[in-house]
Chain A
Amino acid sequence: MDAILLQILNGLDKGSAYALIALGLTLIFGTLGVVNFAHGALFMIGAFCAVTLSRLLSLSFVTIDETQTDFLGNPLKVETPYVEAWFGPETGAAIIDWSVPLAILFSIPIMALVGLFMERGLIKYFYKRPHADQILVTFGLAIVLQEIIKYFFGANPIPTPAPDAFAGSLDFGAMIGMDPNVIIYPYWRIVYFLFAAGIIGAVFAFLQFTTFGMVVRAGMADRQTVGLLGINIDKRFTFMFALAAVVAGLAGVMYAPINSPNYHMGMDFLVLSFVVVVVGGMGSLPGAVLAGFLLGILESFASMAQVVALLPGINQIIIYLVAIVILLTRPRGLMGRKGVMES
Chain B
Amino acid sequence: MLGLNKKDTSLFLLVLVLVVLAPFLLNPFPENSELAQFNAGYPDLMQRFLIFGIFAIGFNILFGLTGYLSFGHAAFLGVGSYAGVWMMKLLTMNVIPAIFMSVIFAGLFSLLVGYISLRRSGIYFSILTLAFAQMSFSLAYSVLTPITNGETGLQLALDDPRILGVSQENGAIPAANLFGLAMRESYELSLGGWLFTFNAGYYLCAVVMMIAFYVAVRIFRSPFGMMLRAVKSNQQRMNFTGLNSRPYTLAAFVISGMYAGLAGGLMVAMDPLAGAERMQWTASGEVVLMTILGGAGTLIGPVLGAGFIKYFENIFSKINDNVLYGWFSALPEGVADFLVFVIHPFIGKGWHLTLGIMFMLIVIFLPGGIMEGVERIGRLFKRKSSDKDSSARASAAPAE
The reply on A143 being an interface residue by CB < 8 A is: yes
The reply on B356 being an interface residue by CB < 8 A is: yes
**B66, chain A: closest CB distance, angstroms:** 11
State which residues 220-272 of B face A: CB under 8 Å. none
Contact of A316 among B120, B138, B353 (CB under 8 A): B138
In the complex, the answer to whether A143 meets B352 with C-beta atoms within 8 Å is yes
In the complex, the answer to whether A143 meets B139 with C-beta atoms within 8 Å is no
Contact of B363 among A131, A140, A142, A313 (CB under 8 A): A140
The reply on B67 being an interface residue by CB < 8 A is: yes
State which residues 96-145 of B face A: CB under 8 Å. 116, 119-120, 122-124, 126-128, 130-132, 134-135, 138-139, 141-144
Instruction: Please count the residue pairs between chain A and chain B whose beta carbons lie under 8 angstroms apart in the complex.
Output: 109
The reply on A209 being an interface residue by CB < 8 A is: no
**B328, chain A: closest CB distance, angstroms:** 21
The reply on A324 being an interface residue by CB < 8 A is: yes
In the complex, the answer to whether B123 meets A144 with C-beta atoms within 8 Å is no
Contact of A125 among B69, B124, B364 (CB under 8 A): B364
The reply on A310 being an interface residue by CB < 8 A is: no
In the complex, the answer to whether A282 meets B123 with C-beta atoms within 8 Å is yes
The reply on B215 being an interface residue by CB < 8 A is: no
Query: How far apart are the CA atoms of A219 and B48 in the complex, in Å?
Result: 50
- Produce 1/0 per residue, B356-369, CB < 8 A to A: 11011001100100
The reply on B319 being an interface residue by CB < 8 A is: no
In the complex, the answer to whether A132 meets B69 with C-beta atoms within 8 Å is yes
Contact of A327 among B69, B128, B142 (CB under 8 A): B128
With a cutoff of 8 Å between Cβ atoms, the chain A residues found around residue B122 in the complex are 131, 341
The reply on A62 being an interface residue by CB < 8 A is: no
Q: How many residues of A contact B (CB 8 A)?
A: 38
Query: How far apart are the CA atoms of A333 and B138 in the complex, in Å?
Result: 24
With a cutoff of 8 Å between Cβ atoms, the chain B residues found around residue A275 in the complex are 127, 130-131
Closest to A324 in B: B131
With a cutoff of 8 Å between Cβ atoms, the chain B residues found around residue A320 in the complex are 131-132, 134-135
Contact of B138 among A141, A267, A317 (CB under 8 A): A317
Contact of A267 among B141, B282, B360 (CB under 8 A): B282
With a cutoff of 8 Å between Cβ atoms, the chain A residues found around residue B363 in the complex are 133, 136-137, 140
State which residues 139-157 of B face A: CB under 8 Å. 139, 141-144
The reply on A6 being an interface residue by CB < 8 A is: no
The reply on A278 being an interface residue by CB < 8 A is: yes
The B interface is mostly helix, strand or loop, or mixed, namely helix
Closest to A145 in B: B356
In the complex, the answer to whether A151 meets B353 with C-beta atoms within 8 Å is yes
**B220, chain A: closest CB distance, angstroms:** 20
The reply on B292 being an interface residue by CB < 8 A is: yes
A341-B124 contact given A140-B360, A313-B139, A320-B131, CB 8 Å threshold: yes
The reply on B285 being an interface residue by CB < 8 A is: yes
The reply on A190 being an interface residue by CB < 8 A is: no
Query: How far apart are the CA atoms of A31 and B161 in the complex, in Å?
Result: 60
Max count, chain A CB within 10 A of own CB: residue among B122, B132, B139, B144: B122
In the complex, the answer to whether B124 meets A331 with C-beta atoms within 8 Å is yes
**B142, chain A: closest CB distance, angstroms:** 5
The reply on A205 being an interface residue by CB < 8 A is: no
With a cutoff of 8 Å between Cβ atoms, the chain B residues found around residue A221 in the complex are none
The reply on B355 being an interface residue by CB < 8 A is: yes
The reply on B288 being an interface residue by CB < 8 A is: yes
**A38, chain B: closest CB distance, angstroms:** 10
In the complex, the answer to whether B119 meets A328 with C-beta atoms within 8 Å is yes
Closest to B68 in A: A132
The reply on A246 being an interface residue by CB < 8 A is: no
The reply on B281 being an interface residue by CB < 8 A is: yes
A278-B67 contact given A141-B360, A316-B142, A328-B116, CB 8 Å threshold: no
The reply on A271 being an interface residue by CB < 8 A is: yes
Contact of B134 among A143, A146, A151, A271 (CB under 8 A): A271
Query: How far apart are the CA atoms of A147 and B127 in the complex, in Å?
Result: 24
With a cutoff of 8 Å between Cβ atoms, the chain B residues found around residue A136 in the complex are 288, 292, 359, 363
The reply on B345 being an interface residue by CB < 8 A is: yes
Contact of B130 among A125, A132, A274 (CB under 8 A): A274
A312-B142 contact given A278-B127, A328-B116, CB 8 Å threshold: yes
In the complex, the answer to whether B364 meets A316 with C-beta atoms within 8 Å is no
The reply on B350 being an interface residue by CB < 8 A is: yes
With a cutoff of 8 Å between Cβ atoms, the chain A residues found around residue B130 in the complex are 271, 274-275
- Produce 1/0 per residue, A129-167, CB < 8 A to B: 101110111011111101110010000000000000000
**B172, chain A: closest CB distance, angstroms:** 35
Query: How far apart are the CA atoms of A137 and B364 in the complex, in Å?
Result: 7
Max count, chain A CB within 10 A of own CB: residue among B69, B130, B350, B363: B363
A35-B123 contact given A147-B353, A313-B142, CB 8 Å threshold: yes
- Produce 1/0 per residue, A16-47, CB < 8 A to B: 00000000000000000001000000000000
Given contacts A278-B127, A316-B135, 11 further A-B contacts (CB under 8 A): A35-B123, A132-B69, A140-B359, A141-B356, A147-B356, A151-B350, A312-B143, A316-B139, A317-B135, A320-B134, A341-B123
Cross-chain pairs A/B with CB under 8 angstroms, 11 sampled? A133-B367, A135-B69, A135-B123, A137-B360, A140-B363, A141-B356, A143-B355, A144-B357, A320-B132, A328-B116, A331-B119
What 9 A-B pairs have minimum CB-CB distances, sorted nearest first? A313-B143, A143-B356, A316-B138, A147-B353, A140-B360, A144-B356, A320-B131, A140-B359, A137-B363
| Interface positions of B (Cβ within 8 A of A) | 67, 69, 116, 119-120, 122-124, 126-128, 130-132, 134-135, 138-139, 141-144, 281-282, 285, 288, 292, 345, 350, 352-353, 355-357, 359-360, 363-364, 367
